[in-house]
Amino acid sequence: MKHRIIVFLALATPLALGDEFSQKDLERWRAEFNTVMEKGEKLFHSTLGSNQVSCDQCHPNGANTHPETYPKFQKQLGKVATLREMINWCLQNPLEGKPLPLDSDEMIALEAYITWERRGVPLAPGKH
């Protein structure tokens, strides 16, 4: 029994230390997230394609984007897709633009804004 307690404490200690952060850390992280989310808001309300259409013309304030339901089957793509893949579909089709690299700063910013607009909504992957 004594050995089990020692092993448990040895394994639990590094995990606890990895989760430690200060109020200053939280403030910095919030500020960095807000900067990215605000960039996404600007992109969402700008023309990203060749036809002068913006995301907000179909989705005012991120409406009807439902990021909480991804990944899910998207009939436009014919497969289970991520929110980022659907953003690219919209960029290429309704906006007549070029897709963004999935790991680009712009894609992450758009995803941050869209998700922020739906904050508080429970996750529901696969829901239609």
Q: Which of 51, 64, 45, 62 is nearest to 111 (CA)?
A: 62
Q: What pLDDT, on a 0 to 100 scale, did the predictor assign at position 37?
A: 98
pTM of the complete model: 0.83
Number of separate domains in the chain: 1
The residue segments making up the domain with residue 57 are 24-117
Question: How many CB atoms lie under 10 A from the CB of residue 85?
Answer: 17
Model confidence over 75-119: pLDDT tens digits? Answer: 999 999 999 999 999 999 999 999 999 999 999 999 999 999 999
Number of residues written out for the chain: 128
CATH number of the domain where residue 102 is located? 1.10.760.10
